[in-house]
Structure 1
Amino acid sequence: MPTMDRPITLHQPKRLEIGVGAVARVGEMAADAARPVVIACGATREYVDRLKLSGDILLIDNVPSEPDIPAFDRTLDATRAHAPDLVIGLGGGSVLDIAKLVAALWDGDQTLRDVAGTNRVEGRNTRLFQIATTAGTGSEAGIRALVTDPDTKSKVAVESPHLIADLAVLDPELTYSVPPSVTAATGVDAMAHCVEAFTNIRAHEMVDGFARMGFRLVGKYLRRAVEDGRDSEARAGMMLASYYGGICLGPVNTAAGHALAYPLSTHLSLPHGLANAIIFPHVLAFNLPAAASKTAEVADALGLRNAGNQDALKAAAFGFCRDLGIEMQLKAHGAAEDDLAFWAEEAHAIRRLMDNNPRDMGVPDILAIYRDAF
């Protein structure tokens, strides 16, 4: 059904720098910052010197891969003590999400609970630069941030235009050292963002354009990036695919695939990209009857052959992920079969995503997928 006449709002960073060496431009654009805060993780602190910052710099480099509320609170407290005039996120999606929230909340009275949901952030007074070091979440492009609640093992989601970056940097050199396994999983995550937005019941023709560009780039470049981490063209292609996926998340968002992946991340401590990669073939095939023509476009872009029915499509997509070196069985990641029913209930309750799915998916359907992936 045509959707071009349906109202939609698209947010993008005010400025995008992309290409080999793009990170070197950060220092010039931050030259007037006297008290910058750089939020990173242990693996990305080595890139701080490339930013060429001046002034009184605070480096916070202990953001975990799946940050929870206590981790966010520690980062927020440290930032408040420094009183920055620029916040820089330097890392993967988790780091960039924390940087968004810190930039918006450090100088106000709102708490994370106050802003959970949509359009509850009152404003932002501090500039935000987002420098991606992986190609998966597309967080540098978007208006959403996720933090895990350690008590409920669920994601606290914040969505606001006040979380959009003033500058996003995609420098493929910063991804050269990402291991093949992480490159593969985050690449499938980027693809899942595009595919889930593309087949979503809220899909929009304008967003479809970004989604198509994204999953086609994954089909062209992901294997190359996995096989040669210093292939700058492939790395740049994957960073752009991830960025396009991030744009898709704002006006359309993901659907059942991400809903099913979240319990895997919170209960098994799986990286977000890996959890989505495990689920991707199953949900893609499940949705085929409701999104046949669009799914055929996805299959063609990824080179999935003889995938005209659900079983064949699932097998082809499973093989695509497995051949990238991704361990696709939940059992191998420490899952217990007795936990699957509880996780299915939990995933089904994530209505902000499940309600976007093109085909209704009940708890028995989710449990069947988990068992198939087990």
Structure 2
Amino acid sequence: MALARSITLHMPPRIEIGAGASGRVGPWAEGAARVLVLASPHTSGFADRLALPGEVTIFDAIPGEPDIATFEAALDAARAARPDLVVGLGGGSVLDAAKLVAAMWDGTQTLDDVAGPNRVAGRRTRLAQVATTAGTGSEAGIRALITNPGSGAKIAVESPHLLADLAVLDPELTFTVPPAVTAATGIDAMAHCVEAFTNRRAHPVIDGFARMGIDLVGRYLARAVRDGQDTEAREGMMLASFYGGICLGPVNTAAGHALSYPLGTLLHLPHGLANAIIFPHVLAFNESAAPAKTAEVARALDLSPGDAGGLLDAACGFCRDLGVEMRLSAHGATADQLEGFARDAHGIRRLMDNNPRDMSVDDVLEIYRAAF
């Protein structure tokens, strides 16, 4: 194994995995006097399963794409509660907000102060991250994203101080996730792994996590979509999501996520759905630049790119078979929006520069048109 460059891996020091793992948060948190739980309206109902000690405050107003106002409201809730433990209980948006709240509530830094890499002053509060979806892998990572509603862009924060002290992967918390959301978030988890795997900054160590994640998606995603109560499939997808989150740290995503972001911030598609629509197009676009790794992905997902339609049709079929509506036009996009989406996506250089094949604005626009 040739280690082409040095990397730094950050992982939560404690990870609880398995059915019922959420019940182990309370014993771990013993001694906490004031606990703030950040959740969405849909996930706050799981708070009792955590068996948390002390005085518990729940802030459950975090939507699917949290913006600056939402984050500031959560920060205000933390400053009122003065917690010695912050718990994120939800999908990626909730977990991202929890990271930032734990790092910033007891300080004076603003989002502008911390945007970018390694600008967070330091976390003063313990953080537990309890995932309720299998998609973003945010519980594993050191990045957080908040939407700026003025520009429609994502504010990206990266710091080791955002790393959870405890990450919990309890498949029982995903049993009620609807099939459509299970499919979209599962494809998002796969996209994290695939984009890191085929990345210009790819690394053999991260390739190992990516391969495990892609293999798990190939084995378990369709099962989890068919039967939400399939514990083995749900746990397999939570692990795939976690591995994808690890991939994001030292390598990150590439063009696929760059193209998905305008669909979230401007078209208001859920992040997982946006990635599911874009994934096949970018996989096929990059095939010529990463043929061996792309072939590995195709085998793991049991695609048949040798057919007349090639890899793009096979990958689109994989997503459609999971129940994903793959046409942007069916999700409210209009043809006159596509050029603006393309300009915005092409400008996200922190991701586009990672792509294994250079992509012009016209290339991006062609992908949006093909997905339209």
Q: Does TM, normalized by the shorter one, top 0.5? A: yes
CA contact (8 A) 2:91 2:133 kept: yes
Distance 2:351 2:89 in 1: 28
RMSD: 0.9
Q: Distance in 2 between matches of 1:3 and 1:46?
A: 48
How far apart, in 1, do the equivalents of 2:14 and 2:267 lie?
37
Contact 2:305 2:313 survives alignment (8 Å) = no
| CA separation of 1:173 and 1:351: change in aligned 2, threshold 3 A | same
* Cα displacement (A) at 1:3: 4.7
Partner of 1:51: 50
Q: Percent sequence identity over matched residues?
A: 69
Tell me, yes or no, if structure 1 residue 159 matches structure 2 residue 119: no
* Conserved 8 A contact 1:39-1:89: yes
Q: Is the 8 A contact 1:184 1:226 kept in 2?
A: yes
Please list, as runs of the form range in 1=range in 2, the aligned pairs for 1:255-266 lying within 5 A after superposition.
255-266=254-265
Partner of 2:135: 136
Report the residue type matching 1:21 in the other structure.
Answer: G
Length, aligned pairs only: 372
- Aligned residue runs from structure 1 range 198-347, under 5 A: 198-307=197-306, 311-347=309-345
Quote the residue 1:190 is aligned against.
189
The answer for unaligned runs of 5 or more in structure 1 is: none
Deviations 1:276-324 (A, max 9, x none): 0000000000000000000000000000013489x51000000000010
Cross-structure match for 1:169: 168
| AA of the residue aligned to 2:345 | A
Matched residue SS, 1:57: strand
- 3-state SS in 2 of match to 1:42: coil
The alignment partner of 2:288 has SS state of helix
Offset at residue 6 of structure 1 (A)? 1.2
Q: Deviations over 1:244-270 (max 9, x none)?
A: 000000000000000000000011111
1:168–1:307 CA distance, 2 compared to 1 (3 A) = farther
Maintained 8 Å contact 1:299/1:307: no
Q: Secondary structure of the equivalent of 1:288? A: coil
Deviant stretches of 4+, over 2 Å: 306-309
The alpha-carbon deviation at position 5 of structure 1 amounts to: 4.2
Which residue of 339, 361, 364 maps to 1:363? 361
Are residue 82 (structure 1) and residue 81 (structure 2) matched?
yes
CA offset digits 1:187-221 (Å, max 9, x no partner): 00000000000000000000000000000000000
Contact map agreement 1:144 1:250 (CA 8 A) in 2: yes
Q: TM-score, normalised by structure 2?
A: 0.99
C-alpha distance in structure 2 between counterparts of 1:250 and 1:198, whole Å: 13
Aligned partner of 2:348 in structure 1 is: 350
In the aligned structure 2, how far is the partner of 1:89 from the partner of 1:291?
37
Are the equivalent residues in 1 in contact too, given 2:199–2:253 (CA < 8 A)?
yes
Deviations 1:98-143 (A, max 9, x none): 0000000000111111000000001011000000000000000000
